[in-house]
Amino acid sequence: MRRPPDEWNSESGAKARLFHAVSEAHLSRIIKVDLKAEMFCYEVDEHAQTLAEMMDGKRLLVTNTPDQAPGDIVARYKSLADIERGFKVLMRMRLKAADAGLSPERALERLRRIQYHRIQIDAANPVSGVSTIQNEQTEILRALNVKKPAAHQQLALL
């Protein structure tokens, strides 16, 4: 078994461990760790904790369709799971038929790396394009029978 570094046993090490644990648990809005304090110190933001407790177990749906009734929006959201399941089944069938050797989750993970960029510096005309599409991504798109994204130009990632 690997022993933790000696600096983890110090007060600053304890602060750093708590800070990282709080960050990884997505609790940094509630628990404030003071890394600059001389002594080990943290504080609980009671207001943030109350808000988090009010929202616990709830999902906030935001839409840009003000003409729909809240019940319709909720129903459409709930049907999204069925749509996603159907999408994965279709994707799995196409990937299998093309002998791609990838699960839908793995294929989507690789396709998520394709990004559309729009860059504008000062008053210059904006430049837009799609990040460079790798051969593996092209093969996945071909297996899925999906047209390759096109933009005015491809932008190489730095």
User: pTM for this structure?
Assistant: 0.48
Predicted pLDDT at 2: 53
CA distances from 130 to 97, 136, 142, 156 (A): 28, 16, 17, 9
Q: Which residues contact 79 (CB under 8 A, 6 or more apart)?
A: none
CA distances from 127 to 19, 118, 121, 133, 151 (A): 40, 6, 9, 18, 10
Q: What are phi and psi of 106, to 5 degrees?
A: -70, -40
Predicted pLDDT at 7: 54
Predicted pLDDT at 158: 43
d(CA 2, CA 13): 17
Q: How do the pLDDT tens digits run along the chain, 158 residues long?
A: 455 555 556 667 777 888 888 889 888 899 988 888 777 788 999 999 999 898 888 888 888 888 999 999 999 888 988 998 898 899 899 999 999 999 999 999 999 999 888 888 898 888 888 888 999 999 999 999 988 887 655 555 54
Predicted pLDDT at 42: 84
The DSSP line for the chain is -PPPPGGGGSHHHHHHHHHHHHHHTT-TTTEEE-SSSSS--EEE-HHHHHHHHHHTT------S-TTS-HHHHHHHHHHHHHHHHHHHHHHHHHHHHTT----HHHHHHHHTT--EEEE--TTSPPEEEEEPPPHHHHHHHHHTT-PPP--S-EE---
